[in-house]
Structure 1
């Protein structure tokens, strides 16, 4: 779930980020951000969680994130990005967003447990709302048939997927296949067994067993993936 969230984060390298709520989701995102070179302050009410992650994050603090004065004293107002990963207490999650809004944090992300939770969070100041459980469920639904190896859907029905090379592309240069005109998707990468992905060029010949990275409208990507067995 955290991977889906991470792919959406458009932080500059070295940005400082405060992660509030050190549960499974918050910790996974925080740790990923540290690996990407960001300074991360982790905040949680649970002293045990704070202690557990003290050596893995830049800073960890036991505190009540719903109290704006507490956050101000911790210097949270100096952070450009804040991630609210509280999932067990919706009231605390929303009150934390309100406190961050009062501190005028420029970029507030929230993990939503329900659609209603996300809608309320946006109304009171969250700039980005993610639904990791729902997104992961949708992703698995696309993968379960075996035709799609990996799948990420973005807003407005646009998707990027790794698929098994469909039959109409076999043993032909991509430039001769007319994939974009015929199927409405674009092939951006090709991978052969034992080799790394390479950029797809018009002269790239696709072989049976190759993997393709394709992008386009979600429905078109699914339809194109279905040609792998036809």
Structure 2
């Protein structure tokens, strides 16, 4: 994976943890915030951190935000600041702009400006949790047209059978993407088609959420 240069404006809880995880993934992260305390907290983790007011277009230009592959705007509940910063980033020629919205109206305005991605973390987290509550074993719900999800299944009725015999792609419309053998902690990928499954083994499968719920492994 190529190293990306990503800027984050707003180092509150969301911006800080986003940057922290991006650094862990091996990317270079530029952090910007007007709060000196938040800047201090990020300095030990981020590649580079500046204390500045991001609604100052000249300040953004001086630190060369246009050199970033992505800029993420996460400035709390200030719609006005978020919109203004996003507009400036567009005018300065930033390649990709992702912005955290606080409401549907905020989202609409940001899309009118032409930002590349608008996200509402609370909405996404709530949807994920709702699907996991009603579908035990669900790892992640993917909001695609086909209601795709990833689910972990514990082998019981399938014990003694092989993946080739089960032929889940054709019989159930799902795909096994990983497995974890009984007693092991880590997942392995590219499961062997002719290895018999044992009771208590785990399979990670991807497919339509409804079809996943109908499986009796």
Matches within 5 A, 1:94-173: 94-145=83-134, 147-165=136-154, 167-173=156-162
Offset at 1:208? 2.5
Contact 1:84 1:109 in 2 (8 A): yes
Q: Where does residue 191 of structure 1 map in the other structure?
A: 180
Partner Cα separation in structure 1 for residue 123 and residue 157 of structure 2:
33
Contact 2:151 2:206 in 1 (8 A): no
TM-score by length of 2: 0.88
Offset at 1:149? 4.8
Cα separation, partners in 2 of 1:218 and 1:123, compared to 1, 3 Å: farther
**How many residues get paired?**
215
Contact 1:122 1:129 in 2 (8 A): yes
Q: Cα RMSD over matched residues?
A: 2.1
Q: What SS does structure 2 have at the residue aligned with 1:172?
A: coil
- What are the ranges of 5 or more consecutive residues in structure 1 without an aligned counterpart? 1-11
Q: What SS does structure 2 have at the residue aligned with 1:134?
A: helix
Cα separation, partners in 2 of 1:117 and 1:167, compared to 1, 3 Å: farther
Partner Cα separation in structure 2 for residue 21 and residue 99 of structure 1:
15
Deviation string 1:191-226 (CA, Å, 9 cap, x unpaired) is: 1233232322321322232221111223323333xx
Partner Cα separation in structure 2 for residue 102 and residue 221 of structure 1:
46
Q: Where does residue 200 of structure 1 map in the other structure?
A: 191
Kindly indicate which of the two structures has a greater share of residues assigned to helix.
1
TM-score by length of 1: 0.83
Contact 2:168 2:175 in 1 (8 A): yes
Partner Cα separation in structure 2 for residue 122 and residue 157 of structure 1:
24
- What are the ranges of 5 or more consecutive residues in structure 2 without an aligned counterpart? none
Contact 1:158 1:215 in 2 (8 A): no
